[in-house]
Structure 1
Amino acid sequence: MINKNIAVGVIVLLGLVGVYSTDEDGLGGKVLVFPYETNFSFVKLIPDKAMSLQAFTLCMRVATELEGERQFILFAYRTPEYDELNVWREKDGSLSFDLRGDGVSFRLPLLSTFRTSLCLTWESQTGLAAFWVDGRRSTYQVYKRGHTIRPEGTILLGQDADEHLGGLESVQSFVGEITDLHMWDYVLTRSQIQALHYGHKISRGNVFDWATIQYQLNGTVLVVDDD
């Protein structure tokens, strides 16, 4: 068995000299495992279309054993100047997201070691935003009406880049499992989100589709079979 401290030291060294895995395509039937907190482990995602968005649906299945007053990032999209779209589990257990500024928070069932089907919807025209947990919608909140998410940024899972691919902090890193991440540039209907939760086929995500998603691994993130 490889000593954990030695393995981490080697990976940190690789990270310092900027070594990434080669680009990969497709995670159908796979799970991303973030085994422990670090300031160097993340997955970079490459979208299928420009992230110039006036509406979106972002879905994933997530499990974690992180508890207590520990904030962590679920999804981070940053351009060189701003955090364009970040999704957080806050210290009090609530979920929040922010679009280039102060965010909006939702009190929802706590994420746990058992996998949660999680979706987030937002659209600019009305500002209506909601989280969906296992097919059930939260109350709507009105947030950033008239806003547009800008393209040409970097999308990360597992870490929040306070600078453009810099300023990573272990205390904000995600620890757990993520799978079935999909994103659309429009708001799905209730029936579509519920169908996705129950594993039925719906229209493929036109920004991200887990089966064909392009990604790069960095650090200790593992890709394992979804059993």
Structure 2
Amino acid sequence: MFSILYGFLCFCLLGCGPLASGQPDDGKRYICRAIPLSGDASCPVTLLPELNAGSQEEELRNTVMQLRETILQQKENISKQQGTINELTTKLSLCASATDDKKYDKGSWGKEKQNTMGDVPRDPNDSIDSLGKTMQGLKDRLENLEQQQTRANISGAAFPTELRNLLQRRLGELEKQLLKKVSNLEEEKTMLSNATAAYRLKTESTLNALVERISELEKGGGDFKSPEQFKLSLPQRTNYLYGRFTKTLPEMYAFTLCMWIKSSASPGIGTPFSYGVPGQANEIVLIEWGNNPIELLINDKVAQLPLEVRDGRWHHICISWTTRDGQWEAYQDGEKLGTGDSLAAWHPIKPGGVIILGQEQDVMGGRFDAGQAFVGELSQVNIWDRILKPVEVQSMANCSSYIPGNVISWLASNVEVFGRGAFKRPLEMCQERLPNA
């Protein structure tokens, strides 16, 4: 700080003038004035009479007081700036500890790269010696403040602003890192939520399948005395309860369809049987809807059958048809109740379709209508590619024999069940299916 002065005070009594050189005292007093450091190195002396000594001493006293005030003011500034530096250093240390132990690079302030403060300790808890060195370095910087202001364009008041800007930039970086980490956590949470929902759906589906299987086993759906001794139960009128044969029909020019049926649904029992092929969903359909009688559809052509099975009791029915003149016959409980012709005459039954039990197909294998669904129970649904003789029909109707179909046979392995509530159940005895049972 003393560099801001132009020189120093010296008293000639200590090193200049006649007394210092051993000359006799002439009764006069000498005093050395302050000169610039760049001036003459000699010690010019201004001779003053004793009468003027009082004014010179007053001038010296004023100069010393000004120097003392300047030094005190500089010390006060140093103290304030040191307090600000320590406070900001503490904040920076706290911020640095919250960033996953990231270290500042060489661009940050510290000993790796000198800044306008010199050796400022990173940790506010450094030793007293280190703090003393820091203070000394700060004093040295402040002593040359005026010369450095021109070269570096900074001042004692500007440095805290620079440090504040550095802190704000660092806080901005930390905020961006925090926002990025929060965003990543939100993405991970969303992915985890989606994966959990998918897993829950899969688990629920598996559990539902197991529950249905257990229910079926508890009711004897997979443990029949013989492969044909089971029934298909469709208790509700919906568009999702049905059975489906795993096999299809070949091309046929005649057929006989027989089944045991039990229903008390009203109005109409619905659609116990439907066979759809590509381009023709109504290739073979047996349906009773509304207050209409049971109808047989062949290639979407219709014949009304004189059958009545809507009484909640088991009935054995058989329908036969031939492409020759479209002739058909209808049996109920072993008795022929009606015949007819001109039903899709000379039309062969197309192969490769889907057989559905309990639903009417609007397209092959699907698009069911709940209003046309069958409600009740079915058993021993068989199909032959010929016209059965009346005695064969009667023997099956009175339970004296069982004749499996040569095209479609009623086996538990041939029938799939769809929809919760639809079951294959054991058929205990033939008497259960008789009209007087």
TM-score bracket, normalised by the shorter chain, equals: 0.7 to 0.9
2:350 is equivalent to residue 150 of structure 1: yes
Specify every segment of 5 or more residues in structure 2 that has no aligned partner in the other structure, as ranges: 1-200, 206-212, 214-221, 429-437
Task: Tell me the CA shift for residue 114 of structure 1.
Answer: 0.5
Q: Tell me which of 72, 97, 113 is aligned to 2:270.
A: 72
Alignment root-mean-square deviation, CA:
2.5
Asked whether the 8 Å contact 1:71–1:171 carries over to 2, the reply is no
State the secondary structure of the residue aligned to 1:192.
helix
Q: Which amino acid aligns with 1:127?
A: G
Q: Which amino acid aligns with 1:133?
A: Q
Question: What residue number does 2:240 align with?
Answer: 40
After superposition, where does 1:1-227 map in structure 2 within 5 Å? 27-47=227-247, 50-68=249-267, 70=268, 72-82=270-280, 83-142=282-341, 143-201=343-401, 203-211=403-411, 214-219=414-419, 220-227=421-428
Structure 2 vs 1, CA of residues 129 and 186 (structure 1 numbering), >3 Å: closer, same or farther? Answer: same
Number of residue pairs matched? 207
Structure 2 vs 1, CA of residues 205 and 171 (structure 1 numbering), >3 Å: closer, same or farther? Answer: same
State the secondary structure of the residue aligned to 1:191.
helix
Kindly indicate which of the two structures has a greater share of residues assigned to helix. Answer: 2
Structure 2 vs 1, CA of residues 42 and 191 (structure 1 numbering), >3 Å: closer, same or farther? Answer: same
Asked whether the 8 Å contact 2:287–2:294 carries over to 1, the reply is yes
Deviations 1:1-38 (A, max 9, x none): xxxxxxxxx9xx96xxxxxx9xx9x8521111001111
Specify every segment of 5 or more residues in structure 1 that has no aligned partner in the other structure, as ranges: 1-9, 15-20
Q: Which amino acid aligns with 2:229?
A: G
Task: Tell me the CA shift for residue 98 of structure 1.
Answer: 0.8
Q: Which amino acid aligns with 1:145?
A: A
TM-score normalised per structure 1: 0.82
TM-score normalised per structure 2: 0.44
Question: Could you tell me how far apart the structure 2 residues matched to 1:119 and 1:181 are?
Answer: 10
Deviations 1:172-195 (A, max 9, x none): 111100001111000001111001
Q: Which amino acid aligns with 1:79?
A: V
Task: Tell me the CA shift for residue 93 of structure 1.
Answer: 4.7
Structure 2 vs 1, CA of residues 217 and 27 (structure 1 numbering), >3 Å: closer, same or farther? Answer: farther
- The percent of aligned pairs where both chains have the same amino acid is 21
Question: Could you tell me how far apart the structure 2 residues matched to 1:80 and 1:225 are?
Answer: 34
Kindly indicate which of the two structures has a greater share of residues assigned to strand. Answer: 1
Asked whether the 8 Å contact 1:61–1:118 carries over to 2, the reply is yes
State the secondary structure of the residue aligned to 1:193.
helix
State the secondary structure of the residue aligned to 2:338.
coil
Q: Which amino acid aligns with 2:272?
A: L
Task: Tell me the CA shift for residue 119 of structure 1.
Answer: 0.7
Task: Tell me the CA shift for residue 147 of structure 1.
Answer: 1.2
